Structure 1
């Protein structure tokens, strides 16, 4: 009799434990707990540097003040006791490095720019040993200009003209040399050297004309590898003093790079997809474009035009199995064909908009995902969970409002 009662009670106990375990065994909650544990065990540091000037001359002192912060709490970090600050030239070579003590998340110091430095663009890079665990992407990195006081007596202005020579790119550069009052350096000897991606492409000699100009040309035979560089021009003054000027070559063609970015990372079939547009010219500046979206059969789907600095948006509802491309028109009248990303047959789309006091997030899903369980929306900032919502997937559209007052400033 006792055994007959024992087994039903045991079965009931196992069933209750199993149900309780299933309710608590939420893989999403377990993932968040692991993330929280990881960030507690391996907190991330951030470094910010204040400089005393935006640009410097050879022989100057660079004064710095450093802030080492905990990325999660934005409070002064207590992890590192030292910070490393480096001066790096255009060839990615470290010219100077200093190590400064960190006290309560703060540090300060200076380093002198030696006379042996060449003028040009340099980078100030700062990090702690702890930050190296996460890689150099998290280091502080800022570009500064370092000039030469002798070079400040010579000023240059350069105009470029680009053309094609078979598959190669040809560059014609007109360089004008003047003093600070705009008077040209005429009949002066110039030696020049052209470097693209730190590789010597061309060199030669020239003499400035009455307007202080020289014309040089060079060919970029590997435009897929070499995108930019500089011209090192050495001007000989009447007193035989040589002045070296570094003239940037930002591009070797007029090509415009056009890219399309689905708001949710991928285009999804059967749903309205918001697509970001970005067009950048060969100098790295935004360039406005216009055009139409066309499917593989040539049917026009939508028109688009960038609104500001080569940026804009469009909406497209890709149909199953269809491929799409953009017929892009540039400001010089030329056109190009750019393929849009291939749409996925199943997935989710998230659109985010600012509406009054809230951030409105709208989740759209393909029909095959309806009724397949809860849809969770997580908002994070510096690893901290700010907002978490759970919604039923019984409908294809889920809308969630996040109060702005609950969100910090910054990128979420």
Structure 2
């Protein structure tokens, strides 16, 4: 049998990508410099990334991995000297296995042998370092995996909906039946534990190996699946079944570029649509102004779309979804401010220059700040005209990564804000070639590696595995995680390529995910005492 090798390579370049550049002396006295410094001290952000050899395993197999602790330059990492890895089953949060590994100079290596008695299903590997701040591990990384096994329990089990329910009228009736492998009755009842929404119960099968579960539909249930764990002697098995639900409202989020809709100021509005289970939805919708259709909107495979709007005070704007799967189809846009400022950035994934268009209905005096909530890189005053003001901002002093442009008043209060990515350059950092395209099982693989930048140093971890041991839905790459997922929340899954390499994906998430775990409220409330934390170093 011949196997096509899928090569997984993680590259960590020591080229200053995560280090903060030194800020030159600003032209103006920054009123928030002290607060930013305190906030940076109070909120260190080490990132743990673990490269696993694959994401689909079988029982009794070995998981190989390398852990990287990614920190800002100048950060002391001496207290991060142990990395713990726990294998956890998704269905019941059972910790199947837990091991600890030495970490030195921000690196950790190891392996974990999977138990031969593991059941097939979805699991995740939870890795963390031993530095604990206020009772929570400071650096955590989660990798979802799938376990496939040939081990089958000594019984067969099945689920069937006898009668679908109607919310508030009658419950769903679900039949669970259990027999021996040769379709005979079991001599003893089977222990049954089941969970549906907020309901968790236990029961047993009758003499015929059956039990009928009556489940009332729960309003606004985030997950309509019924989860069942069966136990008979030493054998266990898991089942799940999606129960029918009444049509629900979609979850629609509006994201005006800059933060607000302003009267008379043209604005691009991002829209993100999800279902009740927070899965992204691709659909079409119509934009209404006072019950008159003025535009048609379409969300892409990430559930994200956008449209241009020139808001008028007193008008009512809403969208209606053209989708039969949702109960309500009309969703109101945010209220319109009397005055303010709008931001338009055509290319938020910028290279070395950021082009910005500021829009306001009156002449205003503002302050512009380019920062990352921990350090300000550009701070200066700005006179905006009652028309478009075009800015070209050099990013020479800005480090690579997520950065925020904030327009504020003379007191430092933010009026408009837009996230962008500085020095976006998704080119290959390394060239790799193999001695042949296809290999026999367990045949030696010879590789040649070449750094594309001669002034770079690199640590490389490599695994060579079969194609069928990798799932694109479970993949996590170091660049997308470090630059995006570790700072932004609830990112849509990317399927075509790595998220960081997809320009459309970058533009979409920078438009609708323009807020992070850092907030102005937390920043302004930070006190010197907040930099003193309850720290524990676990052995």
Which TM-score band applies after superposition, normalised by the shorter structure?
0.5 to 0.7
Per-residue Cα deviation, 1:209-238 (whole angstroms, up to 9, x for no partner): xxxxx9x986443232452444437699xx
Give the drift of 1:143. 1.9
Correspondence for 1:18: none
1:305 to 298, 314, 330: 298
- Between stretches 151-160 and 99-108, larger displacement belongs to 151-160
Tell me if the contact between 1:77 and 1:104 (Cα under 8 Å) persists in the aligned partners. Answer: yes
Cα distance change on mapping 1:43 and 1:235 into 2, 3 Å: closer
1:263 aligns with 2:254: no
**Aligned 8 A contact 2:194 2:226 in 1:** yes
Instruction: Report the alpha carbon displacement of residue 63 of structure 1 after superposing the two structures with TM.
Output: 3.0
CA distance in 1, matches of 2:152, 2:116: 13
Residue 353 of structure 1 aligns to a residue whose secondary structure is coil
Query: Is the Cα contact below 8 Å between 1:391 and 1:398 reproduced in 2?
Result: no
Taking CA–CA contacts closer than 8 Å with sequence separation of 6 or more, which of the two structures ends up with the larger relative contact order? Answer: 2
* 1:324 counterpart residue number: 317
Instruction: Note if contact 1:189-1:205 (Cα within 8 Å) is conserved in structure 2.
Output: no
Deviation at 1:378, TM superposition (A): 1.1
- Checking the alignment, whether the CA contact within 8 Å between 1:47 and 1:139 is kept in structure 2 is yes
Correspondence list, 1:151-162, <5 A: 151=152
- Structure 1: distance between partners of 2:366 and 2:65: 51
Deviation digits for residues 149-172 of structure 1, max 9, x if unmatched? 314999999999997614479779
* Partner Cα distance (1:260, 1:161) in 2: 41
Choose the corresponding residue for 1:289, options 283, 287, 306.
283
Q: Which runs of 5+ in 2 are unaligned?
A: 1-25, 404-539
The equivalent of 1:397 in structure 2 is 388
CA distance in 2, matches of 1:82, 1:232: 36
Flag the 1:96–1:274 CA change in 2: closer, same or farther, 3 A: same
The equivalent residue for 1:196 is 196
Partner of 1:222: 218
Match of 2:147 in 1: 146
1:329 deviates by 1.5
The Cα of 1:136 is off from its aligned counterpart by 6.5
Give the match for residue 51 of structure 2: 50
Question: Contact 2:83/2:129 (CA < 8 Å) preserved in 1?
Answer: yes
> In the TM superposition, what is the alpha-carbon distance from 1:49 to its structure 2 partner?
0.7
Deviation of 1:199 (Å): 3.5
**TM-score, normalised via structure 1 length:** 0.68
Deviation at 1:174, TM superposition (A): 11
Structure 1 residue 87, shift from structure 2 partner:
3.0
SS class of match (1:374): strand
CA distance in 2: counterparts of 1:222 and 1:254, whole angstroms = 12
After TM superposition, give the deviation of residue 135 of structure 1 in Å.
Answer: 5.5
Call closer, same or farther: CA 1:60–1:188 in 2, change over 3 Å: farther
Contact 1:169 1:223 in 2 (8 A): no
**Aligned runs of 1:349-364 on 2, under 5 Å?**
349-354=342-347, 358-364=353-359
> Aligned pair count?
367
Name the SS of the counterpart of 1:319 in structure 2.
Answer: coil
List runs of 5+ in structure 1 lacking aligned partners: 1-23, 178-184, 207-213
Which of 138-147 and 248-257 deviates more? 248-257
1:73 aligns with 2:77: no
Q: Distance in 1 between matches of 2:338 and 2:324?
A: 36
Distance 1:162 1:25 in 2: 72
**Relative to structure 1, is the Cα distance of residues 109 and 129 closer, same or farther in structure 2, using a 3 angstrom cutoff?**
same
Give 1:405 deviation, angstroms: 7.0
Report the CA distance between 1:48 and its aligned residue: 0.5
In structure 2, do the counterparts of structure 1 residues 131 and 199 end up closer, same or farther at CA, with 3 Å as the change threshold? same
Deviations 1:230-287 (A, max 9, x none): 4437699xxx996724336498466443332223333333322222122223554432
Structure 1 residues 80, 225: closer, same or farther in 2, change over 3 A? same
Q: Which structure is higher in helix share?
A: 1
Structure 2 length-normalised TM = 0.54
CA distance in 2, matches of 1:404, 1:31: 21
Describe how 1:3-402 pairs up with structure 2 within 5 A: 29-36=30-37, 38-39=39-40, 43-70=44-71, 72-73=72-73, 77-90=77-90, 91-92=92-93, 94-114=95-115, 118-130=119-131, 132=133, 139-151=140-152, 165-167=166-168, 187=183, 194-197=194-197, 199-200=199-200, 219-225=215-221, 227-232=223-228, 244-247=237-240, 249=242, 252=245, 255=248, 256-282=250-276, 284-295=278-289, 297-330=290-323, 336-354=329-347, 358-367=353-362, 370-371=363-364, 373-380=365-372, 383-402=374-393
Structure 1: distance between partners of 2:76 and 2:396: 24
Cα distance in structure 2, aligned partners of 1:250 and 1:26: 61
Bigger radius of gyration among the two: 1
C-alpha distance 363-87 of structure 1, shift in aligned 2 (>3 A)? farther
